[in-house]
Structure 1
Amino acid sequence: MNLEKNNAVVVLLVNLGTPKQPNTEEVRLYLKEFLSDKDVIRLPRIFWLPLLHLIILRVRPKKSAELYKKVWTEWGSPLLYNTFLQAGLLRKRFTDKTDPVFLIDVAMRYGAPSLESKILEYKNKDYNNFLILPMFPQYSTTTTKSIANKLEMIMKKNIGLEQQLNIFFIKDFHDDEQYIISSSNQIELFQNKFGKPKRLLLSFHGIPKSYIAEDEPYQTQCFATAKLIAKKLNLNKDSYDVVFQSRFGKAEWIQPYLAETLETLPSENIKDIQVFCPGFVSDCLETIEEIGDESKELFLNSGGQKYNFIPCLNGNTIFIDMLENLIRNYKNATINYKELV
């Protein structure tokens, strides 16, 4: 191995994932992998797997494929496009001769390009140093820990691989100053163009409340992020709400729920709102369709008058600054992924 490769660090921006195409079969394959993850669905396998294969994977893929078709781009899904956009912007930050050399690429927890395929691709080119950067600001067992568990699976599957690699892992960046500044900046840029609302909703992805009982820090980190953003924007407690979206099933999830908030705000004479999702660094099906369209319809049908969704960070320059700094100082920001397994 030459000296440059020995010093180089392969940086993988790891996001959730996406089907290859917006058709029923590809969506079924994607959902099968996603919903089979024990970190995402913690129901007993003997109950969940028959339900998944006999009902959900027969019904849901067609409906989801139609939603993906609405947001699909010529470059693929919005999530894939935006994550590659971020990687491309980062590559421009590392064009000078630096020590070590950073190679920026993208991997997905589910679907393609898979985490395993990317690790093996670079290992076969004699790169042994990897920085795994989950694109989830707040740590959750359903996202970041799932990535760590996937790494463990990859190492067990490929015998001898673990001994050949140096893997660095970033756990979260929920209170990183530049992340907070970039989120605040994204909101301000939007409001400079469209005005300020009567109420700003900071909406995070929800998880079942039962997960919190297992020392899950996610909810605490979400509220901490929201508080820091509000402080940066000089918001008082009556001008913003923290809510949680995407609940499904009958189990209790962490609250307050976005849907219920949207239904009740108009009755409190809050009829002009904006929604920003700090937990999503890239726009995707969920932000565009659920938050951008479905939530807007719910709010307006409940008596609201003005609803705006603020786009995610995507290529926000300050956010790219933050990622660059995380990468350059990775030895101070990383953990051993096995601590999470």
Structure 2
Amino acid sequence: MFLRAFKYIWPERFLPEAEQKDPFAEQAPVGPGKTGVLLVNLGTPDEPTAPAIRRYLAEFLSDPRVIEIPRYLWMPILHGMVLRARPKKLVPRYRGIWMDGGSPLLVYSRRQAEGLAALLARRGLQVDVELGMRYGNPAIPAAIDRLRAAGCERILVVPLYPQYAASTTATVVDAVTRHAARLRNQPELRFIKRFHDDAGYLEALVARIESYWRDHGRPQKLVMSFHGLPRYSIELGDPYYQDCLRTGRLLRERLGLMPEQVEVTFQSRFGAARWLEPYTEPTLRELARQGVKEVDVVCPGFLADCLETLEEIGQECREAFLHEGGERYRYIPAVNDDAVWIDALGDLVQRNLQGWPALK
């Protein structure tokens, strides 16, 4: 044990003389290094099985920014109840949406990263692009290490959350800086905090919706469903609610719709606390009871389709609306790997790379 410690303190003493190097000797000038972009999305189980879902949920729901309940109260609930029952219930839901390349969230996020890399190259920028997931794989530390191994001295981190919340964007900052804190030679870091009112992002949504309407016709009502948050998150200072409302208003204006033609709602409640309202499914039920026969639902906060859009919105909410007397219900897919969105993402990234060497 003493010998191992001595090797750690004075490693060169144990190297052959030929391998010993003088760290103070003059070396060749080092260039500016490369620039990297790290796209980060929420995450997904590795496969649609109970063990894989359990591993994913354990990491996700253990994050104190996601579940803001004292740990001594929450952890027994998580491990004693939630992780025992919920994974099995989610297996058929995940299997119902699974794609050949994995979960839709992973498949489309990868395509976004690949599309961004190709776009930046066509624009004459030498930028490496990696994808990381906040929970699950590909993990953020491994993605950063790949960028560092490629010679990236600067990394722009792009959380794929248009609207800012501590439980989403801030957790990405936590994970990136936690890994950077372990590095001796740290890269320069930048973070995009939000882009809820970015013109390119909004135009990508407009293009997606209008293209869908050209093929299928317009509905009586357009419901814009954002992921929900507990109300106390807003009371504690999250700007998320106002970000969502601003996105909804700007999107409505660009679509040329009147306020009464649009509903902004919040989905995916979890637990007993009061969440942001109005809730999506009860709103759809009420619209049907009021005589609205046709609705389209779009989820502007989701840049890639996932369980919450394809299963919750695409299936559960559809059944609820039709059960109450609605006749036509359609979910408009997320922007995914649409070329208009990839162009907008490229513009967003390029603006935030200003001042960093990235030209070929």
Report the TM-score when normalising by structure 1. 0.93
The residue that corresponds to 1:328 in the other structure is 350
Q: In 2, distance between residues paired with 1:180 and 1:332?
A: 22
Q: In 1, distance between residues paired with 2:226 and 2:282?
A: 14
Residue 19 (structure 1) shift: 0.9
Q: 1:139 aligns with which of 164, 179, 187?
A: 164
Q: 1:48 aligns with which of 61, 74, 83?
A: 74
Listed one character per residue, the Cα deviations across residues 121-142 of structure 1 (whole Å, up to 9, x for unaligned) are: 2223432211110000001111
The residue that corresponds to 2:86 in the other structure is 60
The residue that corresponds to 2:139 in the other structure is 114
Q: In 2, distance between residues paired with 1:3 and 1:329?
A: 29
The residue that corresponds to 1:209 in the other structure is 231
Residue 251 (structure 1) shift: 1.1
Q: 2:175 aligns with which of 128, 150, 161?
A: 150
Q: In 2, distance between residues paired with 1:281 and 1:98?
A: 26
- Kindly tell me: are residues 270 and 50 of structure 1, through their superposed partners in 2, closer, same or farther at Cα, counting changes over 3 Å? same
Given that residues 6 and 127 in structure 1 are in contact (C-alpha distance below 8 angstroms), is that contact kept between their aligned partners in structure 2?
no
The residue that corresponds to 1:263 in the other structure is 285
The residue that corresponds to 1:35 in the other structure is 61
Given that residues 300 and 306 in structure 1 are in contact (C-alpha distance below 8 angstroms), is that contact kept between their aligned partners in structure 2?
yes
The residue that corresponds to 1:8 in the other structure is 34
Q: 2:249 aligns with which of 227, 237, 241?
A: 227
Give the partner amino acid of 1:257: Y
- Kindly tell me: are residues 225 and 231 of structure 1, through their superposed partners in 2, closer, same or farther at Cα, counting changes over 3 Å? same
Residue 243 (structure 1) shift: 0.3
Q: In 2, distance between residues paired with 1:333 and 1:266?
A: 53
Number of aligned residues: 330
RMSD: 1.9
Q: In 1, distance between residues paired with 2:111 and 2:145?
A: 23
**Structure 2: gaps of 5 or more residues:** 1-26
Q: 1:105 aligns with which of 124, 130, 146?
A: 130
Q: In 2, distance between residues paired with 1:241 and 1:93?
A: 35
Return 55-64 or 6-15, whichever deviates more.
6-15
**Structure 1: gaps of 5 or more residues:** 335-341
The residue that corresponds to 2:211 in the other structure is 189
- Kindly tell me: are residues 170 and 185 of structure 1, through their superposed partners in 2, closer, same or farther at Cα, counting changes over 3 Å? same
Residue 333 (structure 1) shift: 11
Q: 2:184 aligns with which of 125, 141, 160?
A: 160
Q: In 1, distance between residues paired with 2:30 and 2:209?
A: 41
Given that residues 5 and 126 in structure 1 are in contact (C-alpha distance below 8 angstroms), is that contact kept between their aligned partners in structure 2?
no
Give the partner amino acid of 1:67: R
Residue 97 (structure 1) shift: 7.5
Q: Does 1:23 align with 2:49?
A: yes
Q: In 1, distance between residues paired with 2:29 and 2:311?
A: 47
Given that residues 33 and 151 in structure 2 are in contact (C-alpha distance below 8 angstroms), is that contact kept between their aligned partners in structure 1?
no
Listed one character per residue, the Cα deviations across residues 251-299 of structure 1 (whole Å, up to 9, x for unaligned) are: 1111111011011101221121000000000001110000000110011
Q: Does 1:180 align with 2:202?
A: yes
Residue 5 (structure 1) shift: 7.5
Return 192-201 or 265-274, whichever deviates more.
265-274
Give the partner amino acid of 1:200: L
Larger radius of gyration: 2
Residue 8 (structure 1) shift: 2.1
